[in-house]
Each structure stands twice: as C-alpha cells, then as structure tokens.
Structure 1
Amino acid sequence: MKANSIIKQLLILLVLFSCKKELEYNSVLDASSKEVTTINLVAQDWPGTDPKPYDMPVLKGLDHLTFNDSSELSLKENDLVLGIEIEDESIAIPLTYLEGFEVANFKINEHSYLVTWCPLVGSSKLFKDQSETNNAGFDFGFALVNNNLLMVDRQTQTVWNQLSNKAIHGKRKGETLQLEPSIQTTWQFWKDKHPDTKVLINTDTTNAVFPSEVLKEPFYTKWQPSDGRYFDSGKHDINNLGLGIEIADASVYFPLNTLFKNQSPIEYTLANTTITIHFNTEGLTAWATNSKGELIPTTLAYNWAWKNFYPETTLFSSEKKHSHD
C-alpha cells in the first residue's frame, strides 16, 4: 500500500510538472511581440531533458541597456552583478535585471557587446559582437545544450552556446565568440572596488522571455544545499561554484570552496602562461590577471556545468603544484 501511495504521488508530481512546463512554454511564446521564428536543431527543449530534434523558438534579445544612477536603484549589498571594465569605463550590470531575459545587447562608444546570464549554470558572460554588420545583435534561443543557454546571432541565424563560446549550428558553426574579461560578484564588492562605477540596466522590463522571472534575485546567493548536479534552480549552492579558465585548448577549474581556504592571490601556469588568481569570500567571486596585471577572460560557473563542456579540465587543488603546461 505504501509503495502504491508513493507511486501515485510521483505520478501527480509528473503531471503537475508537465502542466507547468506547458504553461510556461506558452507564456514565453505569448510574450513575444513579433511572430516567433524557429531553427531546427538537436537540443534540449527543457532543463534536465534529453536532447532531440527540435524546432527551437527564437525570441528577441534585450536591446538598449541604459546607464542609471545606482542611488535610484534598489540594489542590495549581495545582489549579483557582472562587473566590466571597457572603453575606460567601470560598469556594473545587475543580474536581477537579466533574470527574465538572459540575453542583452548594448553599445559603448561605437562598439557592440552581448551580455548573457544563464541561471541554470550560475554564469554570466560578456562577449564582443563581431558581426559584419555593426550592432546586429543576438536573440534568445528557447532550447539548451547540457542545460546551458543558447544565443542566436541576428545576422546569420547561427546558434551559439554560452559556456563553450562556440557556434554549434548554422553558417558560422565551429567559430568562437570573443569572450571579454569580467568579474561576476556582489554589488557591494564591485562598488567598493570601483566607487565611480556606472550601472547599466534595462529600464523597460516588458516583453521578457520569462515574464515570471523578471527582477527575481539570482538564486545562488541563498546558500541552499546541493549535490553538485543539475536538478532545479532551487537546489544550487555556492559550494558548487568555481572559476573556469581556458587558454590555448588547455583549461583549469578553481572551486571557490578550495580557493577560499587559501590566501589570495595564487600564481598558476596554464599552457605555458603564468596567471594570477584572485578571490574574495565576501564578494563570492574569483578572477584572474596576466603578468601585466590586466584582467583576462574567465568564467564563473557550477562545477558540473564546466565539466560538461571541458571534460579534460584540470581541477585545481591547493595541495598540488600550481602549474599545468
């Protein structure tokens, strides 16, 4: 009897999940102000599912981020931001404003950029738009690869994967997006480090890809327990977060819970390149600089997600020699 009861409960949960999935999927399509185009490829249509041939809806990415006075925004000390230094400007992009969009385009001094936020893998990344047509921009692909965000460039309809930085389908398949240096951290840490920082947000939150997620707090600041594998967005944990770096086809991953037991900074050699790893517990973050002290491109992401795309990565241990040639 007890076994039958458990089975019934599981069936009920499965039905509820399917209904929720259909409702959320339809709300996504209804939220698009224009006719939805699709691209046929092999991908996941929902987190945790198996990849399959799929007509992926392409929804408009966010455009026209604007600078705002931080004093007029409701930013909390531990709000996650993507901190960037470009065009001689220090800029913070609060991730709460990207929760319902995940893909946003903006322009600084005639140069076009793409900022992405994938809550499933805990990673925000900045890319330089290298389209032949300046400011062509990117849109949101309503599908996943290894539970990770897909973006579609408007110029060629090529599909790009966020964590690998690579084109996985379309005219530019196999090419790599130009990843720009950034620091994913808390608002308080970035503001203390850059007191003159500007804040770049989308003031218009209409037509979001995920309307129910608009202005939600990025979840990994909640310190909820997890076993390190993808399950759902409420089960992730800072203890599964780390810094991934790729140089010349070699990669290394620095778990934050390992870094936080050491003294910052740490020197490390990857692909015959000496880099310095910096980390900060209060800022829930880590970043890397080169021999000139310049910020280099890195990725903050969950351990399982990084390993999915970089299976041969070296896992940093403070007990090992700090090099990998």
Structure 2
Amino acid sequence: MKNFLLIFISLLLISATTRKNGFKIEDPLIPIEDILSGGPPKDGIPSIDSPEFIGSKKAKSVFNPDARALVIEVGGVKKAYPIPILNWHEVVNDQISEFNIAVTYCPLCGSGIIFLSDYGGRTLQFGVSGLLYQSDVLLYDRQTESLWSQLELKAISGKYKGTPLIPLPTAHINLHKYLEENPDALTLSTKTGFVRDYSSSPYQGYERENKTYFPVNITSNEYHKKEWSLLVDKKLIIPLGSLQGKKGNKVFKVGKESFKVRWDKEKKDLVCEAQAQRCISAYFFALKTFYPEAKIN
C-alpha cells in the first residue's frame, strides 16, 4: 500500500511538471496537454531586440500600399510596426517615450498586442517560445523563462505565473493610410539584423483558409474562421462583416460604458477610437476561442 501511494504521488508530480521546447513547465494555469509545439525551437523565430526606424516617406517606398501595421502613440511619439516584418519575428523589444514595451504579433491568430515590459521593478525581454496554446503564441521572458499567453493576457507558468500583461492602446491598420495621416510617425525598418524576405509572407494564403493549422477547443461556424474581428472589453466580438456599409463608425454599449468603433472594409481597418487598450483585433476563431462568453455583434 505504501509503495502504491509513492507511485501515485510520483505520477501526480510528473503530470504537473514537464519539459517542452526546453522549458520546464510546472503546474501551469492552462491544461498542460493543450500546450503544443508550433514547430520551431525556442527563439527559432527570432525577436527583434535592437529595432531601427525610418521616416514615413521612406516607409511608403519600402512597403506595399496594402501593408498593415501595429501602431501606437505614447507621449506624442508615434510608431508603426509593419506586419510583413512581424510575420517573421513576432516580438519586438522596444521603447516608446519613457516606457519599455514588447510588440507582439501572432500570425496564426492575427492578434497584435503591445504590452508594457516592466514588471516587479525589472524590465523583461520577451522572446518566442516556439510553443502554442489554442493556436496562439506563448511568449517567454528571458529573465525567468516564465511562459506568457498573449491572448490570455497573463503568464501561465514560471515565476510570474498569474501576472497580468498590461496592454497599451494599439491599432492594427493599413500602414500607408496611417502614415499619410501621421507623417511624423516612425516605422520599423527592414534592417533587422536578420536575412529575411520581408516582401513575402511565410503564411501566404493562410487568412483565406477556413481552417486552423493547430487544434482549438472551441469552434464556431457563425463566421469564417479568419473573419477580421474586434474584441471590445472582453465582452463583445464585432466581426467586420457584421457592420453595415463599406466604412463608418458606431458607438457600442458594453455594460455601462460606450466604445466608438471605426471601420473601413476596403482597408480592413476595425479599431476602437478611444480606450484602445481594451480592444483587440484578431481572427474571429481566436477571439471566440479565448473569450467564448463574449457576445457576438
């Protein structure tokens, strides 16, 4: 009986702790069997840690008119991070105004979120773990190797387990249109220190396919899986196709608060005009998977 108990306890400990892609994962906040290898090893998708920037005129000559970008403004400083670069790197460790930030993008979910990277009095440098949860990138910090779920908005294992990520107001929009409206903005340069063809995408055709490369626990046939959508305050999902007219704006009531949403179907822009830190743009399947209780517009 004693030996049986020892074996049982040992099995429990093994089930709660495992190694994946070189990471020791102990008692994570998500089911350990749902943490999958995306293929590349840790840092096989290299983050950009010393970003260089170019002016708007140069950027418009480098990137195609249909190129999209994650954009942010803090303290009067405006920056754009083109998706053609983020497709290859997924993380940019940067600064804006006096803040240290991590620019993150998951091509599989279409989700782009910019976070503060100062936690507990130290600046964390983020990288790509090579692991996925519900098809979304699991980030890691190089200081403690804690794993962070981008769309869960928190660390799911390691020293920082349970620590929430602090998002900054971010929009995912057409780059050329943004630069025309903000000629003083700085754009991430293709001089990244890596040899990549930024004129091509390693995910060519993916957004047109009504399927995912990796399994997710929640599926819905209400919209095409890659329908461009906006999550508002974790409670409302607005698919671009649900909105009337090619472009416009509308105020949505979420609880007791109002959110003004602007869209342009030709440019595939769908953004919150204010409180953008409480809004996330991504593919419909990703938002539905991570926020299944959210109402669909």
Same fold by TM-score, threshold 0.5 exceeded?
yes
Contact 1:92 1:200 in 2 (8 A): yes
2:131 and 2:197 map into 1 onto residues whose CA distance is 17
Q: Which residue of 2 aligns with 1:255?
A: 239
Secondary structure at 1:301 match in 2: strand
Counting only pairs closer than 5 Å after superposition, residues 1-325 of structure 1 correspond to structure 2 as 38-41=22-25, 42=32, 43-46=35-38, 57=42, 61-73=47-59, 74-201=62-189, 203-206=191-194, 216-217=200-201, 225-227=208-210, 229-231=211-213, 240-246=227-233, 250-261=234-245, 264-290=248-274, 295-316=276-297
Alpha-carbon spacing, 1:46–1:238, altered in 2? closer, same or farther (3 Å): closer
Structure 2: which 5+ residue stretches go unaligned?
A: 1-20, 26-31, 215-223
Contact 1:260 1:281 in 2 (8 A): no
Secondary structure at 2:288 match in 1: helix
1:262 and 1:186 map into 2 onto residues whose CA distance is 15
1:81 and 1:310 map into 2 onto residues whose CA distance is 24
Task: Write the deviation string for residues 63-115 of structure 1: whole angstroms up to 9, x where unpaired.
Answer: 02122134334111111111111121222111212222111100123310000
> Once the 2 structures are TM-superposed, how far is the Cα of residue 296 of structure 1 from its aligned partner?
4.0
> Once the 2 structures are TM-superposed, how far is the Cα of residue 160 of structure 1 from its aligned partner?
0.5
Secondary structure at 1:171 match in 2: coil
Contact 2:56 2:187 in 1 (8 A): yes
Task: Write the deviation string for residues 102-141 of structure 1: whole angstroms up to 9, x where unpaired.
Answer: 1110012331000011110112111111223543311111
Q: Counterpart of 2:242 in structure 1: which amino acid?
A: T
1:270 and 1:299 map into 2 onto residues whose CA distance is 15
Alpha-carbon spacing, 1:225–1:132, altered in 2? closer, same or farther (3 Å): closer
Task: Write the deviation string for residues 190-241 of structure 1: whole angstroms up to 9, x where unpaired.
Answer: 12332322212352242xxxx7675534858x696433x3148xxxx89611
2:225 and 2:100 map into 1 onto residues whose CA distance is 32
Instruction: Give the alignment's Cα RMSD to 1 decimal.
Output: 2.8
Alpha-carbon spacing, 1:223–1:282, altered in 2? closer, same or farther (3 Å): farther
Secondary structure at 2:153 match in 1: coil
1:260 and 1:200 map into 2 onto residues whose CA distance is 34
Contact 1:223 1:238 in 2 (8 A): no
Task: Write the deviation string for residues 36-68 of structure 1: whole angstroms up to 9, x where unpaired.
Answer: x82133311137xxxxxxxx7356632021221
TM-score (normalizing by structure 2) = 0.76
Contact 2:77 2:97 in 1 (8 A): no
**Please, which moves more after superposition, 117-126 or 128-137?**
128-137
Contact 1:205 1:214 in 2 (8 A): no
Contact 2:126 2:141 in 1 (8 A): yes
Task: Write the deviation string for residues 125-160 of structure 1: whole angstroms up to 9, x where unpaired.
Answer: 111112235433111111100011111122332111
Contact 1:82 1:94 in 2 (8 A): yes
2:181 and 2:56 map into 1 onto residues whose CA distance is 15
1:219 and 1:190 map into 2 onto residues whose CA distance is 24
1:130 and 1:95 map into 2 onto residues whose CA distance is 24
Q: Which residue of 2 aligns with 1:51?
A: none
2:265 and 2:206 map into 1 onto residues whose CA distance is 13
Structure 1: which 5+ residue stretches go unaligned?
A: 1-36, 48-55, 317-325
Q: Counterpart of 2:257 in structure 1: which amino acid?
A: T
Task: Write the deviation string for residues 283-312 of structure 1: whole angstroms up to 9, x where unpaired.
Answer: 21111134xxx6443211111111111111
Identity among equivalent positions (%) equals: 23
- Runs of 4+ displaced beyond 6 Å: none
Alpha-carbon spacing, 1:46–1:223, altered in 2? closer, same or farther (3 Å): closer
Secondary structure at 1:180 match in 2: coil
Equivalenced residue count is 257
